[in-house]
A and B are shown apart, each in its own frame.
Chain A
Amino acid sequence: MTDDTIDEGKLRDLMNEVAALPTSIEPPADAWAKIRAEIEASGNPDRGDTDDIDLLSKRRHRIAFWQRPIFLAAAALLLVAGSSALTAIAIGRRGASTSRRAAQAPIAPFATDSNNGPASLAQFTVVESDYLRAVNDLSATLESERGSLSPETIAKLRESIQVIDAAILEARNALAADPANKTLIRMLANSYEQKVDLLKRTTEMARG
């Protein structure tokens, strides 16, 4: 075997041995007693809205968030899926009619693609207020139009907004530790832009 290569036959033998490892090993007999004492002291299991998948997601978020682009990719996918679902629902219910008028929502302050974005957190903080104002205006408009949205659409919107808000919060927290990180600033700007875009498109749907 050289420094960098592994003999395939030996690796196969190793994997065969691994497959034969016991999947279960008896824990110490007194292990349960301590668990029982602890859970009896802690009261009944928590009941909450978080399911098992959310639980894992929250745990993952605490681990080096900005080093895990997969989270953002997943969030973006969910956003796209959520937005697509919103569109599909709206089209299905409204006979694929196009919007008669655009929402009177503010346009995102600047485009933030991989090559274009705020150069610093200080610069972004200035435009962040514009994003927040746009979000507030669109949310108020949407609230007044919510009667024309189906419950499924509202649920999808809430789900997507929650994903984006989580991404914003995580990016904000990560920036607190690393304020000069331009990738994080760009991620934060992108998240805001996604939120504004989602609210704007939903408002357009609501207005038909």
Chain B
Amino acid sequence: MTRHSALRKSTIPLQANWSGDESSRALIARVQNGDVDAFELIYNEHSGRVYALCLRLMGGEQIAATELMQDVFVRAWKNLGRFRGESAFSSWLHRLAVNAMLENARSDKRRVARVLPMEDTSQIGAFSPGDSPELRIDLERAIARLPAGARTAFVLHDIEGYQHQEIAEQLGVAVGTVKAQLHRAHKLLIQALDR
């Protein structure tokens, strides 16, 4: 399976406890006092995971994913003064990314069609693995080609570990809709990867 050209495995645990890490706490304290260099260290530590999330949510579109990631870190900078360390920093950052994606999508009709239509099932079933049934499609590409609603549900649930209820709340849809989209995503991905 081919992978993105520049991959790096994260060294940050998904649920790293920010408040329990003295060096991280010192770093965030510096950021809260306006230290941009300290924020760059945070960026270097977390940007890979945030970019991976953004890239998948945006259907593999690198420019859109980069813009989203930049927006996330600008928001993080603005809001770090309010971060109390009561939740894992990486979780906080990821929620910020999902929220930014949803907010941007709602204010940018160009993105809405790409990201949000959880209730719209018209595209479901329209997925085509390619011109040739023999074409090998790797998982990343298959995820990117999922209909928007199915992709969002899949990325948030199966890759990011959100609960159905949580996704439904964030997207403003019923839990059943999320489950249905997830089921469709599984079906389409299995079809796409069934070589």
**A residues with CB within 8 A of B:** 1, 6-7, 10-11, 14-15, 17-18, 21-28, 31-32, 34-36, 38-40, 42-56, 59-60, 63-64, 67-68, 70-71
Q: Are A70 and B165 in contact (CB under 8 A)?
A: yes
Provide the residues of chain B in CB contact with A21, threshold 8 Å. 139-140, 159
Name the CB-closest residue of B to A32: B43
Complex interface: chain B residues within 8 A of A52 (CB): 79, 82-84, 86-87, 92
Residues 44-60 of chain B, each 1 if its beta carbon lies under 8 Å from chain A, else 0: 00011101100100000
Alpha-carbon distance between A67 and B178 when the two chains are bound, in angstroms? 14
Question: Known interface pairs A6-B183, A24-B10, A40-B36. Does A46 touch B189 (Cβ–Cβ under 8 Å)?
Answer: no
- Known A6-B190, A26-B48, A35-B73; further 19 A-B contacts with Cβ < 8 A: A1-B191, A6-B183, A7-B190, A17-B1, A24-B8, A24-B9, A24-B51, A26-B8, A28-B62, A45-B31, A45-B81, A46-B82, A52-B82, A55-B82, A59-B99, A59-B102, A63-B172, A67-B174, A68-B169
Given contacts A22-B7, A36-B40, A64-B172, contact A44 B81 (CB under 8 A): yes
B16 CB within 8 Å of chain A: no
Q: State whether A42 touches B86 (Cβ < 8 A).
A: no
Q: Is B80 positioned at the interface, with any CB of A under 8 Å from its CB? A: yes
B126 at the interface (CB under 8 A from A): no
B66 touches A27 (CB 8 A): yes
Which of B49, B77, B169, B173 sits near A45, CB closer than 8 Å? Answer: B77
Lowest 5 A-B CB distances belong to which pairs?
Answer: A24-B48, A64-B172, A45-B81, A44-B34, A26-B6
User: Is B187 interfacial (CB-CB < 8 Å)?
Assistant: yes
- A26 CA / B50 CA spacing, docked (Å): 10
Inside 8 A of A49's CB, which chain B residues have their CB?
Answer: 82
Q: Is B123 an interface residue (CB 8 A)?
A: no
A14 in contact with B81 (CB, 8 Å): no
- Inter-chain contact B172/A31, CB cutoff 8 Å: no
* A45 in contact with B32 (CB, 8 Å): yes
Whether the pair A14, B70 counts as a contact (CB closer than 8 A) is no
B69 within 8 A of A: yes
Q: Which residues of B contact A7 (CB under 8 A)?
A: 190
Q: How far in angstroms is the closest Cβ of chain A from B98?
A: 9
Q: B158 in the interface, Cβ–Cβ < 8 Å?
A: yes
CA distance A129 to B124 in the complex (A): 50
Known: A17-B139, A25-B6, A27-B69. A48 touches B81 (CB 8 A): yes
Residues of B within 8 A of A31 (CB): 47, 51, 66, 69-70
A25 to B5, CA, bound (A): 9
Contact A60 B82 (CB under 8 A): no
CA distance A64 to B102 in the complex (A): 12
In the bound complex, residues from chain A placing their C-beta under 8 Å from that of B3 are 22
Q: Mark B171-193, 1 if CB is under 8 A from A, else 0.
A: 11110000000010011011101
A46 to B172 CA separation, bound complex (whole angstroms): 28
A55 contact set on B, CB distance < 8 A: 79, 82, 96
Assembly CA distance A11 to B194 (angstroms): 11
Given contacts A11-B186, A39-B36, contact A28 B66 (CB under 8 A): yes
